[in-house]
Amino acid sequence: MRMKELSLRQDPDLRKELALLARGCDFVLPSRFKKRLRAFQQGQAQLKKEEAVSPALSESIPKFYFPRGRPKANINIDNLISKIEKIFSQFPSERVTIEDMGKVAKACECPLYWKAPLFFASGGDRRGYVSVHKFVAMWRKVLQNCHDDASKFLHLLAKPGCPYLEQEDFIPFLQDVVDSHASLAFLKEASDFHSRYITTVIQRIFYNVNRSWTGKITCSELRRSSFLQNVALLEEEDDVNQLTEYFSYEHFYVIYCKFWELDTDHDLYIDQRDMARHNDQAISHRMIERIFSGTVTRDRKVHKEGRLSYADFVWFLISEEDKKSETSIEYWFRCMDVDGDGVLSMYELQYFYQEQCQKLEAMAIEPLPFEDCLCQMLDLVRPESPGKITLRDLKRCKLAHIFFDTFFNIEKYLDHEQRDPFMVAKDAESLGQEISDWERYAAEEYDILVAEEAANEQYNDGYDNPLVPIDCISAEFDLCGEKRHLFEFANPHCNLDLDEYKYADSFE
Ligand SMILES: [Ca+2]
Ligand SMILES: [Ca+2]
């Protein structure tokens, strides 16, 4: 049918006649044309009918791309809105402050800790409250346009019209967690610690969620991650320390203490010399240079000014203590790929191995010749194309941690060397089934720090102690109790101004 139609339409004689007809020329058409014209008109009518009945081809393929989530059938927005209006009506002038926003979040059928994003997205920060009208207008738009949690959460947190989340977008949400989660109540008076904790959690969010390394979390990255499940768990879990992926205060404490030890002048930056002291000179100088080269850091000043911010240290420490995660493998791969061509060449491996040999010799240990080490490593990684190790090879081999430590961490290299290869293989098999290396490290270090503090408390009776993150803190915790609250801020001098730590600096 359509083929015939096309040929009719392309007929020059017929086109001419139709044009004449359109101009109102009234003359007798030769009968052969009349016949063809009728056929054409019938065809047109048929085509119109078809167009009206069957959708265009693009519409007949079911929609499969839903950047804002798949719309749910039978969602009654008016019903949902009236529930919310009912909640607002319980408050004077139908205005709700951040303290009562939890009730609104629940009426919206959202996890409790969506309360701050809901509050701020409807302009609550400017007035100190949200009116029913503003809120309903905002939420109705969200319900109409965003069809799953990831899309809704992103819309609430992002700057207007922005399709991704940047680091600073998380601050109001996390400040509310600090202000209102029961297990962080002990931080109430330690406002200088709020920003450090928040910085840490933001870095962990980007470390785990922003798999593209762009500094911009997209809706699909958020959807693929476990972050929103963890946000929902904040409501059920009384202790943030149980949420080890993002929110654990103990994990923050370990990272911050490790940084504090290196940052001797406490300006929240460390240089290469400070970094060299980490873990008793375990990391090679050549690797430290690479960490400071700007290839794995977000702060653009790292390379120029030769200093690493606390935020960038979070990435370093987690990568250093858990070399099995995808982000960590990417982190160290970027560092080792000195020329940035996407493969680790023999030259690059040798460059890092040379320093390891020097270190071993200084320890009176005879190092393995590079060729032998190379054979071992190629055996371990089994690269797809010989002589070139790619990121894919390292992720696939499940032993990337041993590979990396061989080239830049002398202490861990020696540890691996002393281990039974059979056990190493078994480790690789059980990867992902037990707690992560990072979780194990953080738990052990936390216990050590707590014990150190307890000892200091006993001997110094709370006087200045260079090992304690903030000199003026007198630690108070209950070693027998389940929850150990390290900070009890007795000294008013430690209430530093929150502004003293500029977010803009570390989020650039
Ligand atoms: Ca410093
Ligand atoms: Ca390379």
Ligand 2 center to 388 CA (angstroms): 9
pLDDT bracket for residue 298 (50, 70, 90): confident
Ligand 2 center to 389 CA (angstroms): 9
> For residue 349, is pLDDT > 50?
yes
Ligand 1 center to 447 CA (angstroms): 26
Ligand 2 center to 392 CA (angstroms): 14
Q: Is the separation of the CB atoms in 206 and 167 below 8 Å?
A: yes
Mean pLDDT of all residues in 397-424: 90
79-83, 325-329, 442-446: the lowest-pLDDT one: 79-83
Ligand 2 center to 168 CA (angstroms): 33
List residues bridging with 218 in a β-sheet. Answer: 164
- The residue whose two tokens read 């039974």 is 420
pLDDT for 55: 53
pLDDT for 112: 98
Q: Is the separation of the CB atoms in 364 and 400 below 8 Å?
A: no
pLDDT bracket for residue 505 (50, 70, 90): very low
Packing angle, helices 77-89 and 132-145, rounded to 10: 160
Distance of alpha carbon 343 from alpha carbon 341, whole angstroms? 6
- Of all residues in the chain, the percent with pLDDT exceeding 70 is 76
Q: Could you count the other beta carbons within 10 Å of the beta carbon of residue 293?
A: 14
Distance of alpha carbon 123 from alpha carbon 137, whole angstroms? 11
Ligand nearest the Cα atom of residue 346: 2
Mean pLDDT of all residues in 21-37: 49
List residues bridging with 474 in a β-sheet. Answer: 488
Ligand 1 center to 466 CA (angstroms): 15
Q: Half-sphere exposure of 283 toward its Cβ, with a 13 Å CA cutoff?
A: 22
Ligand 2 center to 437 CA (angstroms): 27
CB-based contacts of 102-107 (< 8 A; 24+ apart in sequence): 104/130, 104/135, 107/83
pLDDT for 277: 96
Mean of the per-residue pLDDT values of the chain: 83
> For residue 273, is pLDDT > 60?
yes
Q: What is the pLDDT of residues 402-411, one digit of tens each?
A: 999 999 999 9
Q: Please tell me the pTM assigned to this model.
A: 0.78
Distance of alpha carbon 266 from alpha carbon 283, whole angstroms? 22
7-16, 63-72, 85-94, 229-238: the lowest-pLDDT one: 7-16
First to last CA, the chain: 62
> For residue 25, is pLDDT > 50?
no
> For residue 27, is pLDDT > 60?
no
Ligand 1 center to 470 CA (angstroms): 14
Ligand nearest the Cα atom of residue 336: 2
